[in-house]
Chain A
Amino acid sequence: MPQVVRSGDYDLDLEELQIEGEGDRMTLSVGPHHPSTHGVLRVVLEIEGERIVKATPEVGFLHTGIEKTAENLTWQQAITVIDRMDYLAPLSNNLGYVLAVEKLLGLEVPPRARILRLLFTELQRMASHLLWLGTTALDIGSQSVLMYAFDLREGILDLFEEASGARMNPSYFRVGGIARDIPDGFEDMCRRFLDRVPERIREIRNILDENPIWLDRLKGVGVISAEDAIAWGVTGPNLRACGVPYDVRKAFPYAGYDEFEFDVPVGENGDCYDRYLVRMEELMESYRLCRQALARLPRGPVVVDDRKIVLPPKHEVRQSMEALIHHFKLVSYGFDVPAGEVYQALESPRGEIGFYVVSNGKNKPWRVRVRGPAFYNVFAMPVMMQGSLLADMVAIIATVDPVFGEVDR
């Protein structure tokens, strides 16, 4: 449409000046090979200038068939593939799956194992949120914060390595407890790490919270209303940023969370800035939980006393025939799980991750279906992106915090 110039007063009508028509829209494919799609998301954008008219996320580039693979592994082996789903929070996946199987078996793990699990999942949440913080800051242009956040996360990975021998995919939890007890000196190492946390977080927040450009890039960007968020199945920090105080740890406590003191931070506006604030507060809540868990860590066994499910200790295997048989049976065949189906949800760093596990009484799961929170969060992104700029898209993808290992499974 041509420029509208009325006689007398040169009244430029901005809305009319906008040139309409199909030809002025550009279809831009962002991803899968793009620096800020956090893995392999593809967003097909229709843009006018740099304003997004329509955004369509496309997933599936990282499909690994984890759920199907799990059906062909024994109950205990399946933990290792479940680990690799949400690769930034493998221990949360572990915990969900393990709790589901234990529910089927009717097992109750010893208190030390329960509290260690809680400690490790909260450390994992901190690691995940730190990585999120770093990559978000990088997407918006600050390399320094990326490095500072990764430096802190490194401390957590060192702790994982110390306890389980692996940094990225620890597979530390087992049906019936945890793989092995924490080594000597681990608690001190953990305390030393936790001592560094508040100071470093404060430092990072000083860099970001007082930077007007940072606030400008996040405030009022990518808004989603609480109703929309619920309708799209958004959970986790993204939902809480809209003001809905839903946290599985409080709503349906598991793994002994009801015995611990922690708050659920909520936002108000559901914009990128609130998502940032909620995650930063959650980091500190996880820190509190870790402190409490360390203070209350009891002595005792870390696995259930059931030789049909948990491997016997090595020294017994060398001396006792019965133990050797148990060992052989567990390693080669595994154990049977009574037929039935359970759903176990828990709060992963990205939201409600649910494990729907079905057993037909055999030594392998009949079906493991995962409700990945990031999957639902990704598909709420078009709502947030509507009408925003290309630069905002980057902030939105970053603050929604998708992990494509989990989205595509």
Chain B
Amino acid sequence: MVSAYTDVLIFFLVGAAFVALNLTIGRLFRPHNPYPEKLTPYECGEIPVGEGQAPFNIRYYIFALLFVVFDVEVVFLFPWAVVLRELGMYAFVLMVIFLFMLVDGLVYAWKKGVLRWV
């Protein structure tokens, strides 16, 4: 008897082999003829201006910060949800308090106007 997670691992190996097969099979058939123009990054037929990895203004930075906070909080909810029925009232009340803080954070961010496309 193997554990269920070992089974998962076996499937991962099969998946990896499948991916590797896909990528190597073409090597036998495909041409290889690079030249400078072909290797230029695509910019609608024009010569690219500047770098492709230039410093970049990510407008949703605050969303991303909030996401990290909230996502971690959601992770705490998973085990709670599964056993809520057995634990009953006590767990419910505790989690409502926790949820309240979560919602509070969202409302605060919303009111501050952070949930707005900058």
> Which residues on A are within 8 Å of B, measured CB to CB?
12, 14, 17-19, 23-34, 37, 42, 48-51
Given contacts A27-B49, A49-B56, A50-B59, contact A34 B44 (CB under 8 A): yes
Q: Are A33 and B44 in contact (CB under 8 A)?
A: yes
Q: Are B62 and A29 in contact (CB under 8 A)?
A: no
Q: Are A32 and B44 in contact (CB under 8 A)?
A: yes
Residue B112 at the A interface, CB < 8 A? yes
Complex partner residue of A49 from B58, B62, B114, CB under 8 angstroms: B58
Q: Are A27 and B50 in contact (CB under 8 A)?
A: yes
Q: Name the prevailing secondary structure of the B interface residues.
A: loop
Residues of chain B in range 23-77 having any CB-CB distance to chain A below 8 Å = 43-46, 48-50, 54-59, 61-62
Q: Are A28 and B45 in contact (CB under 8 A)?
A: no
- Count CB-based A-B contacts (< 8 Å): 49
A32 to B47, CA, bound (A): 12
Residue B118 at the A interface, CB < 8 A? yes
Complex partner residue of B114 from A12, A24, A27, CB under 8 angstroms: A12
B44 to chain A, nearest CB (A): 5
Q: Are A17 and B118 in contact (CB under 8 A)?
A: yes
Chain A residues positioned under 8 Å from B49 (CB to CB): 27, 29
Q: Are A12 and B112 in contact (CB under 8 A)?
A: yes
A42 to B58, CA, bound (A): 25
Chain B residues positioned under 8 Å from A51 (CB to CB): 59
A42 to B56, CA, bound (A): 22
Residue B113 at the A interface, CB < 8 A? yes
Most buried by A among B49, B56, B57, B112: B57
Q: Are B118 and A26 in contact (CB under 8 A)?
A: no
The residue of chain A having its C-beta at the shortest distance from the C-beta of B42 within the complex is A33
A18 to B50, CA, bound (A): 21
Q: Are B44 and A26 in contact (CB under 8 A)?
A: no
Q: Are A49 and B59 in contact (CB under 8 A)?
A: yes
Q: Are A14 and B113 in contact (CB under 8 A)?
A: yes
A28 to B62, CA, bound (A): 25
A49 to B117, CA, bound (A): 11
Given contacts A12-B114, A31-B44, contact A26 B56 (CB under 8 A): yes
